[in-house]
Amino acid sequence: MAKTVELIIDGKSHTFPVVEGSEKELAIDISDLRDKTGYITLDIGYKNTGATKSAITFLDGEQGILHYRGYAIEELAEKSTFLEVAYLLIFGELPTKAEYEKFTTDITKRTLVHEDIKKILDGFPSTSHPMGVLSSLFCAQTAFYPESLNPNRPPDGVYLSIIRSLGKMPTFAAWSYKNAIGHPVNYPDNKLDYCPRFLKMMFALPGQEYEVDPVVADALDKLFILHADHEQNCSTSTVRIVGSSKASIYSAISAGINALWGPLHGGANQEVIIMLENIRKDGGNIDKWIDKAKDKNDPFRLMGFGHRVYKNFDPRAKIIKKAADDVLKKLGVNDPILEIAKKLEEIALKDPYFVERKLYPNVDFYSGIIYRALGIPVDMFTVMFAMGRLPGWIAQWKELRDQGEPIGRPRQVYTGKTKRPFVPIDKR
């Protein structure tokens, strides 16, 4: 018999169905709660609210498990490529050789952006944060591809928007950096693969040869895989909620980029490096900074620590910690902040404050150290996260569309003034 739960309000019983996920996750379906009882639920920050049924990513925060479409993140990070993972997330299965070739060729054909995008870019002062530039350029595609505004686009139109998003994202990302340093932009070199092409657009200088280091390109590819999706986090929920109004895919993803920017979300990778640098400059007194993080009168938090869902360990952080060691060794980089990070982690993991609150290093704790070793400037760290997260946002947007989900519209408990008469001010 199907499982149900009973809710008793003022002595009256109401029955609600229980929904079970494929990994045995349980949810109470309260979609008709208000109709049946007149009540709504209150869950500020959506800590216990399932906003959708999704077949893309499974994560178990207690056990530190992360799967994309049923494949373990550890296995994908070791054996797969970013574009293969992108295909998997978006279309549900790993591609065959022919599908993969078509997908990568289609993307490569769409790496160029309209020349007028350069005029928009020129309007940004060089002080602009690359995340703001990225979200603006991404949204500007609605102007160059107005057909994307049609909510009833046929499937081949949707496919084209997906391919354009993946093809142009590295170009926008590299150009947002060039704008920040006041250099001329580079055009995509379509003889190269996805990550090498991006690196060349980022770092090649006029009149100079630029050889992509395969160690750097491989490390970036792996980081992108680790960031590719993370179910209903802040930016993904933003993409879904904007998409639910049937706005264009470009505006939905642009909104996701803005949500990711914040220091409590993807912006944490930039903040981690700033924090580690501050600790180093301050003489490396880690205990002092741990005490600051524990002090409720001090707004400082240990950046790269804690997670809404992971309460044991973040499996991505485990892989990234090892990758940080490997990459720095391969590149011959000796970064003193890696040692500070490891010591900080060691001390925090033994401290009752962090143990009791189940605060562990998250994906952002070590990723910044790798980005730094790869030569990526700090302001671009969150842009790297956005590039990696793009396939996840696309997959979630597509799933919402395919499932014909209704517009997202939470309710509230009103706590303002009750009705009162309007008294005009005396203007005499």
Q: Given the rule CB under 6 A, which residues bind ligand CMC?
A: 230, 233, 264-266, 268, 293, 301-308, 357, 359, 362-364
Q: Cβ distance 309 to 369 under 8 Å? A: no
Q: Which of 362, 359, 339 is nearest to 263 (CA)?
A: 362
Q: Which of 166, 147, 155, 206 is nearest to 182 (CA)?
A: 206
Say which of 364, 379, 402, 426 is annotated catalytic.
364
Q: Cβ distance 343 to 336 under 8 Å? A: no
Nearer to ligand CMC, 298 or 339 (CB): 298
Nearer to ligand CMC, 221 or 364 (CB): 364
Question: Each residue of 1-15: b (16+ CB within 10 Å) or e?
Answer: eeeeeeeeeeeeeee
Nearer to ligand CMC, 163 or 394 (CB): 394
Nearer to ligand CMC, 178 or 230 (CB): 230
Nearer to ligand CMC, 203 or 381 (CB): 381
Say which of 67, 129, 265, 307 is annotated catalytic.
307
The DSSP annotation for 282-325 comes to TTS-HHHHHHHHH-TTS----TTB--SS-SS--HHHHHHHHHHH
The CA-based dihedral angle spanning residues 104, 143, 177, 80, taken in that order and rounded to the nearest 10 degrees: -20
The DSSP annotation for 254-287 comes to HHHHHHHHSTTTTTHHHHHHHHHHHHHHTTS-HH
CB of 66 to ligand CMC, least distance (A): 11
Query: Alpha-carbon torsion 333, 339, 340, 345, what sign?
Result: positive
Q: Cβ distance 139 to 225 under 8 Å? A: no
Looking at 92-233, list the stretches that DSSP marks H as alpha helix, in order from N- to C-terminal side.
Answer: 97-108, 116-122, 130-144, 155-181, 194-203, 214-227
Nearer to ligand CMC, 143 or 290 (CB): 290
Nearer to ligand CMC, 302 or 337 (CB): 302
CB of 9 to ligand CMC, least distance (A): 29
Report residue 417: phi and psi, to 5°. -65, 145
Bridge partners of residue 26, in order along the sequence: 20
Q: Cβ distance 142 to 148 under 8 Å? A: yes
CB of 308 to ligand CMC, least distance (A): 4
- Write the Ramachandran bin of 211: left for phi over 0, alpha for psi from -120 to 50, otherwise beta: beta
Report residue 67: phi and psi, to 5°. -125, 140
364 is known as an active-site residue: yes
What are the catalytic residues?
Answer: 307, 364
